[in-house]
A and B are shown apart, each in its own frame.
Chain A
Amino acid sequence: MENWKRSAKAFFAAFTPPTFWLVAFFIIPLSLIWLYSFSTKTGVTDITLDWNLQQYARALEPLYLGIFWKSIVMAAATTAICLVVAFPVAIAIVFSKPTMRMWLLLLVILPFWTNLLIRTYALIAVLRTNGFINNGLEWIVVNADWLLSFVGLGDNRIVGPFEPLALLYNNTAVVFGLVYVSLPFMVLPLYAALDRLDRSYLEASLDLGAGHIRTFFSIVVPLALPGIASGIVITFIPAMGSYLTPDLLGGTDSQMIANVIASQFKQANNWPFGAALSFLLMYATFFALAIRAVLMRKEGRGDVR
């Protein structure tokens, strides 16, 4: 296995294809976009590289900073909800019987087998004015009214006429959709961290007089911190840059930064500005990763060996 270090041929045979792949399809296109972000649009299709910072200056105008901020808030809300929902799920999977565990994990991963677009349209079918939730609620309201009519309280006197809930085309719908899409990304790292956790730590905590809730907050959470941090990062970053979900589920004010970037590249045909926005998004992502790295080093002692 260590022979590749000595055999130069084997080394190049193994490493040339992936290197070529990365350079040709990742580094070169990314560099082009990076150059665009310092360019000026001089015609319908003409872009001149003149190393100016106008695009970045425009990207930092309040309008776009506001959209950035909105993206961060939506992604943060998504991450927070995912964390709260995923923790009990991960705990349930870890403590289930080994035969059940495989099936439960499969259920978590199952949505990945369906195209995101199809899943999002399915969500629309659930949430829209004539969707499953509103129809279900209407059925309950109508039947409740019908039942009340037996005691002379019908005709919408108690429950009132059914008004469909506005579940779609607003920020709540976007966060709901993002939570739905991101949940597996939170469950899996939490599951991995909890699975590694030595059960005797939990038993020792119970043995020393702590209840289950205190054991959770003083033992499980600190020891699962690496998994929590990973889950937060891999949920937050894609959520922040999500395009399809706000596009399909959001209203007119639900635009996130990726939608703005897309419209700059497409409708506005302003590639330099779109490129500058893209790179600002990437810098924000790097910032999030850096915060995680710092946190992990600080909490390195809590890492589970």
Chain B
Amino acid sequence: MSEAAKNPSAGEPIIRIENVSKIFGGTVKAVDNVNLEVARGEFFALLGPSGCGKTTLLRMLAGFEVPTHGRVIIDGQDMSKVAPNKRPINMVFQSYAVFPHMSVEQNVAYGLKMDRRPAKEIRERVAEALDLVKLGSLGKRMPDEMSGGQRQRVALARALVKRPSVLLLDEPLSALDAKLREAMQLELVRLQKTVGITFVIVTHDQSEALSMANRIAVMNAGTVQQVAPPATLYEAPANRFVADFIGKINMIEGDAVAAGEGEVKVTAPAIGEVTLAGNATGKVALAVRPEKIFVDEKEPTDPKLIKVKGKVGEVAYFGSYSNVFFDIGTGAPLQADISNVSSDIEEFTFKAGEEYWVYWRKADTLVLGD
């Protein structure tokens, strides 16, 4: 269906962001020397806390902001200074921006009318787009007669009907309630597969990005921290920020020195000295995800493990697992997600003050620099 998917030059990235910076008012660096490539047909997410520059970056792709430095190349053409209405890109706005004085059909037809398509083609494509977002029967409705979720579908149809090479989505799910949001996540993935158009989504919600995107760029303070597929971001974060931003993680502060090829020797309180795979040296954090931690009353003997003695602190019960905080004497408690694999309640009840051996595999331990 999409013209982008039919394009034979599929190897070339559809978006190339080269050394792009955006400085507001001469001093505020919203985006700081960003380099990114988005492949054709990808579902790409820009993820970061509010104020990290992700929305500014998206607005530079749409053409609402002009980069202070650098170039934005879309489909092989330098688009840095091209007006929004001349770009092969369409956007779904956070507020949806569905024109309140036009019916659903008129909203969807607006972009095609601007392109001066013949009336017959407009009718067909509008109907097709409305079917795609499952609004086929609501074409005559006015926006104020629709729910938030339906209005978002109108915004999606209005953007997709133009068959852009890239569809931008600015926090598309933030205004929806939790249940609708989950349904819409699946819907967006389905839609992206159906039309084959490259999607670039901006979100501050990690679960949204992890569940939908093929690749994610994590941003902080105007810079890109890491670009990777969701699993890589989670299991092999590039630095403390990414590790901390995505999911839960324990960090034990330590000092590292190089110890051979790709290995470092880390000294940390409570753990002692341990040699691990990694490159960061100096002040580092030994990081481990809570679900990778095990607990036993007996001291484990396997040399591939890191073990510490911990005293049970707070316990939160979540049904399938318990989130247990252990005091290991470093000041920061170590949290472990313990699977409740037995139905024997007594066996898996942690009582405050009990002592356990807390351990995890060296291979699951990350050595993170700044």
Contact = CB atoms under 8 A, between A and B. Distances in A.
A and B physically associate: yes
Interface residues of B, number: 26
B144 interface: yes
A301 B114 contact: no
B101 A207 contact: no
Interface string A164-188: 0000000000000000000000000
Contact of A208 (B63, B101, B111, B144): B111
A130 to B, nearest CB: 50
Nearest to B158: A208
A302 B100 contact: yes
A155 interface: no
A209 interface: yes
Contacts of A304: 100
A101 interface: no
Contact of A209 (B97, B99, B100, B111): B111
A214 B114 contact: yes
- A198, A201, A299 interface centre (most CB from chain B within 10 Å): A201
Interface in B312-369: none
Interface string A271-305: 00000000000000000000000000001011111
Interface in B67-122: 83-85, 89-91, 93-95, 97, 99-101, 110-111, 114-115
A83 interface: no
B114 A203 contact: no
Contact of B90 (A208, A210, A214, A302): A208
A242 interface: no
B66 interface: no
A259 interface: no
B91 A207 contact: yes
Contacts of B63: 206-207
B129 interface: no
Contact of A206 (B84, B155, B158): B84
B162 interface: yes
A93 to B, nearest CB: 20
A203 B64 contact: yes
A302 B162 contact: no
B125 to A, nearest CB: 13
Interface of B: 62-64, 83-85, 89-91, 93-95, 97, 99-101, 110-111, 114-115, 142, 144, 155, 158-159, 162
12 contacts: A198-B97, A200-B93, A200-B95, A204-B91, A204-B158, A207-B63, A207-B159, A208-B159, A219-B99, A223-B99, A299-B101, A304-B100
Given A203-B64, A208-B114, 11 more contacts: A200-B93, A200-B95, A201-B97, A203-B84, A203-B91, A207-B62, A208-B111, A210-B85, A218-B110, A301-B144, A305-B100
